[in-house]
Structure 1
Amino acid sequence: MGKKTIHVSDFTGQVLSPDDEVVRVVVLEHPDLVAGPVRLDATPVDVESIDDAALDVAVVEVHDRHGGGEPRRVVLTASEFDAMATDVPMAQLLRTAERVKPPKARRTAEKIDYGTIEHAGRPHRGRVTEEEARLVRDRLDEVNKRLADAGVRQVDPADPEHAARYGFPTAD
């Protein structure tokens, strides 16, 4: 018995042929997004107007007493943000403002063992061991549920990169 995977546009439900170009859209933030970023597949036509619909926005962090020690992230239109600068134009203010360095990534004291079901399939830079690949292949549903719950990309056996990384058969 064989399996056949049919790809469809997540936006329109249109069936995509193997020759169709697939556009990957990663939703990073949305009011209805509860478990972290997700991937949607689309056709170029589905997203051709996305740049025209884009808004000029300012994304800011507000560090005040209301966040309980954590900054609040706020998105507002660029024109609304620009209007807050009454002494000098916002463009000038932004050019002369003090630069903020991103926080340094912390090194974990323990090395993560991706050859265990708790970590198998998580994105990482290292080499995938045979044990990790076997766990991902044999327990794909369990791995993907854990990854989705953690808000991490899921393993897609139809994705050529994932197929090669975890040893899934490819349709050549």
Structure 2
Amino acid sequence: MGRKTVHISDFSGKVLQSDDEIVRVVVLEHPDLVAGPVQLEARSVEVESIDDASLDVAVVEIYDSHGGGEPRRVVLTASEFDALATDVPMAQLLKTAERIKPPKATKRVTAERIDYATLEHAGKPHRGKTTEEEAQLVRDNLEEINKRLADEGIRQIDPADPEHAARYGFPA
């Protein structure tokens, strides 16, 4: 018995032929993307217009009182951002602006212990033993926990998966 694998374009739904140039498109950010980056496959002709449609953008972080201590990331067209500089052209301003050094990695002297028996952390993959408290919390709140895991880009818990069933005490 033989098997045949058929590849289908994620964009058009058409079968990808062996002579088609297949392109992998990784979506890093999108308003509808909830669980982290995804990849799509398409024929190269289907994505030719991406470069033509691309925008010159500025990605900025704003540190102010609105973010509750966290920066707000904003994406805007480069021309909109450039228009904010009224005294000196933006190109000149960017050349002379203070450079930011990436923060140095620091070793944690004492690692925080995560309590997996809380709704905030229950169900996250970890090396330690799953306590009965965590297992019960997962069984009682599976839908809520799976939504949180998906939002964080972490694998979800499947009661039908033998490993998950054993770990969290789901019936076999």
Tell whether 2:10 aligns with 1:10: yes
Following superposition, the deviation at residue 62 of structure 1 comes to 0.4
Tell whether 2:49 aligns with 1:60: no
The root-mean-square deviation of aligned C-alpha atoms, in Å, is 3.1
Change (3 A) 1:4 1:49: same
TM-score, length-normalised on structure 1? 0.60
Following superposition, the deviation at residue 107 of structure 1 comes to 6.1
Task: Give the share of equivalent positions with the same residue, in percent.
Answer: 75
CA distance in 2, matches of 1:103, 1:55: 29
Tell whether 2:153 aligns with 1:151: yes
Tell whether 2:59 aligns with 1:79: no
Change (3 A) 1:23 1:106: farther
Larger RCO, structures 1/2 (Cα 8 Å, 6+ apart): 1
Report the equivalent of 1:27.
Answer: 27
Change (3 A) 1:39 1:88: same
Following superposition, the deviation at residue 105 of structure 1 comes to 4.8
CA distance in 1, matches of 2:60, 2:105: 21
TM-score, length-normalised on structure 2? 0.60
- Give 5+ residue unaligned stretches, structure 1: 110-117, 120-144, 153-172
Q: Secondary structure in 2 aligned to 1:8?
A: coil
CA distance in 2, matches of 1:10, 1:102: 37
- Give 5+ residue unaligned stretches, structure 2: 112-124, 127-145, 155-172
